Amino acid sequence: MFAKLVEAVGLASSSTVHGHLSRLEEKGYIRRDPTKPRAIEIVSDQTNDNINMEETIHVPVISKVTAGVPITAVENIEEYFPLPEHLTSTHNSDIFILNVVGDSMIEAGILDGDKVIVRSQTIAENGDIIVAMTEEDEATVKRFYKEKNRYRLQPENSTMEPIYLDNVAVIGKVIGLYREM
């Protein structure tokens, strides 16, 4: 059995697989029967009190918001995405997710294809990373600054220029990020 697992997951040796399986068994995630060396039982969360299964909520993923050249925002729910409840505080209905398109926020660690977790709010403080609607009804993710007579939506990419606006509608504040590896 170990040789097949070594090959299937690309590990160096069967002792590595044995070590991983032993740790999973010690933590209560699996159960092995010594009389059946090829059998592994996955322990369900109902039968194992040692596993902490945190509650999740399903947050709407709403259209795509650019982190580069703004794209027209279409407010429709594409899907629901599960998040651990502790990430959403007590205001679950105020949380939504937007897919990022573009690279204007790369120096803030927000990459093309990321999902930003956003708390709906209409105000922002200088330096907040926000989702904003521009005067052309386009949505964008940028760092927010209120200047003397205008607003500045600052990209976090040194090759891009800020967007200056007389009016901006803050849709929400970015409070988290999800990235698939």
Assess whether 104 carries a catalytic annotation.
Answer: yes
Query: What sign has the CA pseudo-torsion 131, 134, 137, 141?
Result: negative
- For every residue of 117-131, DSSP letters joined together read EEEE-S---TT-EEE
d(CA 118, CA 124): 12
d(CA 18, CA 24): 10
State which amino acid sits at residue 124. Answer: A
Instruction: Choose, from 15, 64, 89, 104, the residue flagged as catalytic.
Output: 104
d(CA 174, CA 42): 37
d(CA 137, CA 72): 7
Assess whether 64 carries a catalytic annotation.
Answer: no
Tell me the C-alpha to C-alpha distance, in Å, between residue 135 and each of 4, 83, 122: 59, 32, 15
Instruction: Choose, from 4, 22, 142, 148, the residue flagged as catalytic.
Output: 142
d(CA 163, CA 52): 45
Catalytic residues, by residue number, are 104, 142
